[in-house]
């Protein structure tokens, strides 16, 4: 029998040895397997497409699943590791094998409390929200697709019928789902009706999962696959309240370490209301996102009023009184003293009145938040509802369509300013992710103005928007404005959240990057080290690794190679703790360490070895056609090129560029960077017309995205100057480098180190033009500037300057000076690309 049948005779799929069958689904058979071809040994889950009369449809969905998984990178999502075609010409996927249990079984086996189950559920919501931010709908969320490892980590599995809404994947339009690919008991009403699913469909499925975690039984109990019965159960019948369902099942109460009566009391009220809001039949009346659902669960855990509750004002007042018992005591005391008419009673009454006003304000804020949530959900649903009857006939929506509708409908929310602010923020984030920075800037400014007017300057949500806008302004090169906003965000976050909150660490991280952009490396290092202190205190390995790698980059630039190496070695260790299995973050941390080792000539062999190991791990983990593998190829290729292994370097960077073009699309900036890498490698031994063409195209792409007054564009001009200098067009190279400097000088004090590096290149061009005095002046200024910022003779750019000065003095007829600077340039004979 064929491998697709799942027969026990299946022993091998590609390089993977099959150990046993794990299960069967709508599209294929899943096997536990092990790679044992000598390259990498790891247990994995191999999903093989099954033979079927619907082979074309199944294969299309199967290949789409690979693209979807490749777009996701999250600690709570099982990672795509590899893929290929079996000997029977059927495609297969290799996915991280999750050693764990379905979330409901895990919770029951460990007799987890309701609060512990809710915290696990919040992790599920975080994974789903991450997918939604990547424009991916899961569409088959159920306990069997949500596992928990023995360490208590949630892992989201099986994107087999997920829908990719990525704007770069135009071949995957938004179409109506087929009934046969869903799990009826966990389907949403719109899926059963055949309507186009949205994020609200996944929110509904999360509500079903939450119901089962709380009550111990499915909300939609369906005993047949007959379409009419499924339609009635899902689209027409309201589920029983979890609190009522749980009281009839003693086993469910025991698994939660409660009696049936107490379980009913715990679920009654807030948790019933949260589940009911997630399970509303109308998509527009559910939570607006998985994040909002998780937030409301968090409000329950914190004892705050939940937004889902439909109770009276007394409900919210009662919640306030429970949290602020001192306020309640003052109010009761004031009432009693008023009866006896004493002067003390009057003072206590005044206190009670003030507290009543505060309570009323808090209630009003809760109502505003509830109204905002409902407006948001209605807004999101409206994006998929066509106002034009002719438009409604189309089954396909493009990203441009959704954004156009979003902008138009957000403008109609003028009477709901907080909801409008959230919409402007969401749209601004989308435009920022699409690298349309001017539109992102404008929308975020509008959102910030609304939030300041409604919530005030010292509200945590206002600070969050300030930080987000600061990020966009930094990308635009508006460093001063970004710095002002980032400082205000940090002030408010400290005031409202305390010094140990992760948002405070995020602000410190942002200010550190801005300080580096301003050339204040000491302040940048201080900010980053303060963020690391917060990360360590929280035990946040992923954030710690990120901050350590950024610190390593700063120390590397300043010439502190020992400190940079220590930071990046610790970053690699933290990343491996955060992501125990193969992951892009692990591979990136390995290459970051290889990069710092590459800067130290004595450790080049270790750098190359580490980079080769990283590439091998990337290939084994993600396959040869993954963007992470392309990045690993480029990193290794750059290391090899810097040390003369040009032929292998060229092969690697060419493969990487071809892979990025296929994966990311021709206009992505990752492709532009790959083009620069190929161009630089091709010019290592001389001029190349192909290198100039690729580099000019990359320069145009950077200019189209960032504008021609941005530091990224200036950097690309520097690459082009290297290429045309190889052609002998020294006047053109000089003009490009001077333009590079002029762009960087427009931002005061922000680009001094980068200008120094560009001056080293320009001095090399002037040397070839025999303008020796000008070149000498530029070299000396650049070295002085680099010593001021980088502080160490071992900085690679200082060595480049010394190598250039040796060439200058040799051409100028000053052999003693040439010999002196040749000795200072380590290793001997080390020269810049434009001088070879």
The Cα 281–Cα 264 span in angstroms is 24
- pLDDT interval class at 762 (50, 70, 90): very high
CATH number of the domain within which 20 lies: 3.30.200.20
On whether both 25 and 127 belong to a single domain, the answer is no
* Residues identified as active-site: 140
The Cα 717–Cα 739 span in angstroms is 8
pLDDT at 68: 64
The verdict on residue 421 lying in a domain is yes
> 127-161 pLDDT, tens per residue?
998 888 777 788 888 998 899 988 888 999 876 44
pLDDT at 531: 94
* Strand ranges, E, within 521-576: none
> 257-307 pLDDT, tens per residue?
888 888 988 898 889 989 998 998 888 778 888 988 998 898 888 777 777
The verdict on residue 172 lying in a domain is yes
The verdict on residue 107 lying in a domain is yes
| Final residue before a domain boundary, out of 455, 483, 504 | 455
On whether both 249 and 134 belong to a single domain, the answer is yes
> 374-404 pLDDT, tens per residue?
444 444 444 444 433 334 334 444 566 677 7
What does pLDDT average to over the chain? 77
The verdict on residue 784 lying in a domain is no
Comparing 508 with 87, the larger pLDDT belongs to 508
pLDDT at 705: 79
The Cα 255–Cα 551 span in angstroms is 47
The verdict on residue 280 lying in a domain is yes
Question: Do residues 588 and 821 touch, judged by C-beta distance below 8 A?
Answer: no
On whether both 138 and 16 belong to a single domain, the answer is no
On whether both 92 and 120 belong to a single domain, the answer is no
645 labeled part of a ligand binding site:
no
> 461-487 pLDDT, tens per residue?
999 999 999 999 988 878 889 999 999
* Close Cβ partners of 500 (under 8 Å, ≥ 6 residues apart): 534, 537, 538
State which of 54-68, 489-503, 772-786 shows the largest mean pLDDT: 489-503
On whether both 65 and 147 belong to a single domain, the answer is no
User: Nearest 5°: phi and psi at 93?
Assistant: -120, 145
State which of 185-199, 370-384, 710-724 shows the largest mean pLDDT: 710-724
Number of domains in the chain: 3
| Final residue before a domain boundary, out of 96, 121, 140 | 96
On whether both 297 and 434 belong to a single domain, the answer is no
The Cα 343–Cα 336 span in angstroms is 12
CATH number of the domain within which 242 lies: 1.10.510.10
On whether both 73 and 143 belong to a single domain, the answer is no
Question: Do residues 4 and 49 touch, judged by C-beta distance below 8 A?
Answer: yes
pLDDT at 87 over 70: yes
- pLDDT interval class at 815 (50, 70, 90): very high
Checking 609-618 for CB contacts under 8 A at 24+ apart, the result is 611/635, 611/636, 611/639, 612/636, 614/587, 614/590, 616/39, 616/40, 617/40, 617/582, 617/586, 617/587, 617/590, 618/587
What tokens appear for 557 in the block? 């630039």
> 408-421 pLDDT, tens per residue?
777 777 788 888 88
The verdict on residue 369 lying in a domain is no
- pLDDT interval class at 37 (50, 70, 90): low
> 306-352 pLDDT, tens per residue?
777 544 333 333 443 344 433 333 333 232 222 233 233 333 334 44
Nearest alpha carbon to residue 39 among 624, 465, 730, 590: 624
On whether both 274 and 405 belong to a single domain, the answer is no
* Weakest mean pLDDT among 145-149, 596-600, 634-638: 596-600
Give the three-state DSSP class for 818. helix
On whether both 296 and 411 belong to a single domain, the answer is no
pLDDT at 520 over 50: yes
The Cα 440–Cα 436 span in angstroms is 6
> 199-257 pLDDT, tens per residue?
888 999 999 999 999 999 998 888 776 777 788 888 878 888 898 888 888 899 989 98
On whether both 90 and 122 belong to a single domain, the answer is no
pLDDT at 596: 78
Which residue carries 């990719």 as its tokens?
164
| Average pLDDT for 517-530 | 84
The verdict on residue 448 lying in a domain is yes
The verdict on residue 666 lying in a domain is no
The Cα 784–Cα 801 span in angstroms is 11
pLDDT at 497: 92
* Close Cβ partners of 331 (under 8 Å, ≥ 6 residues apart): 352, 355, 356
pLDDT above 90: percentage of residues in the chain: 27
On whether both 121 and 76 belong to a single domain, the answer is no
pLDDT at 71: 65
pLDDT at 97 over 50: yes
On whether both 80 and 119 belong to a single domain, the answer is no
Domain that holds residue 430: 375-386+396-455
| Final residue before a domain boundary, out of 37, 68, 96 | 96
CATH number of the domain within which 418 lies: 1.25.40
């Amino acid at each position: 029998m064929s491998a697709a049948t799942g027969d026990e005779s299946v022993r091998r799929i590609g390089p993977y040895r099959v150990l046993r069958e794990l299960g069967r689904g709508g599209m294929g058979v899943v096997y536990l397997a092990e790679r044992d071809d000598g390259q990498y040994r790891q247990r994995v889950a191999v999903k093989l497409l099954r033979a079927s009369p619907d082979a074309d449809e199944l294969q299309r969905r199967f290949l789409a699943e690979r693209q979807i998984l490749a777009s996701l990178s999250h600690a709570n999502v099982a990672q795509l590791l590899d893929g290929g075609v079996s000997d029977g010409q059927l495609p297969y996927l290799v996915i991280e094998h999750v050693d764990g249990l379905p979330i409901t079984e895990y919770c029951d086996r460990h007799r987890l409390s309701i609060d512990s189950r809710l915290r696990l559920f919040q992790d599920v919501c975080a994974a789903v929200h991450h997918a939604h931010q990547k424009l991916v709908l899961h569409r088959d969320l159920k306990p069997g697709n949500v596992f928990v490892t023995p360490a208590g980590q949630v892992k989201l599995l099986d994107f087999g019928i997920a829908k990719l809404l990525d704007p770069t994947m135009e071949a995957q339009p938004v179409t109506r789902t087929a009934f046969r690919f869903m799990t009826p008991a966990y389907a949403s009403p719109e899926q059963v009706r055949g309507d186009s699913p949205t994020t609200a469909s996944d929110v509904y499925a999360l509500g079903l999962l939450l119901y089962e975690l709380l009550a111990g039984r499915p909300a939609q109990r369906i005993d047949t696959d007959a379409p009419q019965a499924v339609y009635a159960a899902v689209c027409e019948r309201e589920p029983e309240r979890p609190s009522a369902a749980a009281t009839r099942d003693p086993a469910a109460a025991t698994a939660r370490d409660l009696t049936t009566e107490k379980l009913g009391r715990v679920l009654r009220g807030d948790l019933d209301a949260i589940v009911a809001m997630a399970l509303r039949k109308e998509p527009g009346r559910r939570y607006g996102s998985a994040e909002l659902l998780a937030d409301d669960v968090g409000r329950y855990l914190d004892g705050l009023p939940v937004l889902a509750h439909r109770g009276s004002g007394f409900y919210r007042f009662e919640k306030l009184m429970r949290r602020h018992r001192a306020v309640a005591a003052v109010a009761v005391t004031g009432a009693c003293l008023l009866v006896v008419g004493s002067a003390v009673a009057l003072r206590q009454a005044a206190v009670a009145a003030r507290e009543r006003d505060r309570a009323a304000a808090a209630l009003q804020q809760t109502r505003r938040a509830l109204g905002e949530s409902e407006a948001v959900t209605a807004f999101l649903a409206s994006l998929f509802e066509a106002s034009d009857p002719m438009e409604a006939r189309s089954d396909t929506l493009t990203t441009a369509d959704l954004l156009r509708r979003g902008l138009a409908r957000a403008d109609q929310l003028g009477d709901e300013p907080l909801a409008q602010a959230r919409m402007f923020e969401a749209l601004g984030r989308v435009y920022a992710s699409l690298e349309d920075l001017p539109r992102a800037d404008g929308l975020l400014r509008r959102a910030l103005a609304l939030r300041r007017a409604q919530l005030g300057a010292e509200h945590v949500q206002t600070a969050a928007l300030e930080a987000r806008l600061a990020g966009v302004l930094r990308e635009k090169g508006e460093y001063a404005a970004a710095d002002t906003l980032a400082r205000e965000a940090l002030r408010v976050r400290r005031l409202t959240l305390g010094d140990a909150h992760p948002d405070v660490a995020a602000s410190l991280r942002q200010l550190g990057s801005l300080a580096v952009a301003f050339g204040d490396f000491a302040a940048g290092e201080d900010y980053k080290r303060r963020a690391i202190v917060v990360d360590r205190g929280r035990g946040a390995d992923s954030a710690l690794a990120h901050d350590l790698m950024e610190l390593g980059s700063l120390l590397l630039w300043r010439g502190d190679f020992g400190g940079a190496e220590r930071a990046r070695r610790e970053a690699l260790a933290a990343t491996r703790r955060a992501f125990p299995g193969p992951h892009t973050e692990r591979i990136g941390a390995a290459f970051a360490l290889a990069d710092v080792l590459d800067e130290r000539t004595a450790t080049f062999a270790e750098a190359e070895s580490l980079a080769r190991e990283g590439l091998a791990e990337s290939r084994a983990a993600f396959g040869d056609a993954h963007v992470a593998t392309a990045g690993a190829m480029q990193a290794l290729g750059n290391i090899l090129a810097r040390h003369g292994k040009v032929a292998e370097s060229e092969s690697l960077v060419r493969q990487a560029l071809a892979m990025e073009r296929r994966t990311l699309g021709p206009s992505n900036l990752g492709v532009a960077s790959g083009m620069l890498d190929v161009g630089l490698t091709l010019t290592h031994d001389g001029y190349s017309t192909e290198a100039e063409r690729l580099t000019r195209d990359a320069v145009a792409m950077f200019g189209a995205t960032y504008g021609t007054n941005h530091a990224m564009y200036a950097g690309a001009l520097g690459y082009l100057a290297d290429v045309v200098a190889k052609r002998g067009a020294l006047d053109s190279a000089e003009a490009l480098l001077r333009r590079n400097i002029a762009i960087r000088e427009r931002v005061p004090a922000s680009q001094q180190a980068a200008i120094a590096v560009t001056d080293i290149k320009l001095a090399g061009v002037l040397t070839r033009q025999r303008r020796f005095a000008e070149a000498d002046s530029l070299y000396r200024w650049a070295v002085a500037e680099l010593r001021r910022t980088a502080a160490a003779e071992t900085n690679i750019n200082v060595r480049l300057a010394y190598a250039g000065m040796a060439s200058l003095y040799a051409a100028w007829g000053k052999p003693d000076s040439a010999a002196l600077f040749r000795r200072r340039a380590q290793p001997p004979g080390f020269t810049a690309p434009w001088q070879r």
